[in-house]
């Protein structure tokens, strides 16, 4: 009858509200990874870009071991003068590290890094031994 449909809809609605409340109350412990990265690949190599606003180039370290790229550094706190109190502080500071598994080996001696307007671009040429090789088919 009509009340059983109503009860089913009410039960579904209550379950959904309980799920939303549990989600709302759950502690938000996972911070987004810093810095944010984009990675592009082509047959010639990789390009990795990292957003690093407020970081000085001399505070950035890049290392490559085997097929692992590690980007680390320090973002220094804002200094706005004596006697200033923060009204709101959302931008973090301190040491950071991001590690990225590379899909192929790279020519470590030819890696280049360019820092422009707060964005770090790392150009990683693919190792010759890792480049795709075309095989010519011969007629018998």
What number of H helices and E strands is found in the chain?
A: 1, 7
Strands (E), 2-133: 37-42, 45-51, 60-65, 68-75, 94-101, 112-116, 119-125
* Interatomic CA distance for residues 107 and 102, integer angstroms: 12
In angstroms, what is the C-alpha Rg of the chain? 25
- Whether 122 and 113 have beta carbons less than 8 Å apart is answered as yes
Q: How confident is the model at residue 95, as a pLDDT?
A: 92
The model's pTM is 0.70
Residue 133, token pair as written in the block: 């090789």
Domain residue ranges in the chain: 37-79+92-129
Q: Which residue has the higher pLDDT, 29 or 11?
A: 11
pLDDT in tens, 82-124: 888 877 777 788 899 999 999 999 999 999 999 999 999 999 9
* Interatomic CA distance for residues 116 and 69, integer angstroms: 20
Q: How confident is the model at residue 7 (pLDDT cuts 50, 70, 90)?
A: low
What does pLDDT average to over the chain? 86
2: left (phi over 0), alpha (psi -120 to 50) or beta: alpha
For the domain covering 37-79+92-129, report its CATH number: 2.60.40.790
Determine the 3-state secondary structure of 97 from DSSP.
strand
pLDDT in tens, 56-70: 999 999 999 999 999
* Interatomic CA distance for residues 125 and 121, integer angstroms: 13
Judged against a pLDDT cut of 70, whether residue 32 lies above it is answered with no
Determine the 3-state secondary structure of 35 from DSSP.
coil
């Amino acid at each position: 009858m009509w009340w059983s449909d109503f009860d089913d809809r009410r039960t579904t609605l209550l379950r959904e509200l309980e799920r939303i409340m549990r989600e709302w109350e759950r502690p938000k412990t996972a911070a987004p990874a810093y810095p944010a990265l984009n990675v592009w690949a082509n047959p010639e190599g990789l390009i990795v870009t990292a957003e690093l606003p407020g970081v000085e180039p001399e505070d950035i370290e890049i290392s490559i071991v085997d097929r692992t790229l590690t980007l680390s550094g320090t973002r220094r706190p804002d200094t706005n003068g004596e006697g200033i109190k923060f009204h709101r502080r959302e931008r973090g500071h301190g040491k950071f590290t991001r590690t990225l598994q590379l899909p192929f080996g790279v020519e470590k001696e030819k890696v280049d890094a360019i820092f422009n307007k707060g964005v770090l671009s790392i150009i990683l040429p693919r190792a010759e031994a890792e480049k795709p090789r075309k095989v010519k088919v011969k007629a018998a």
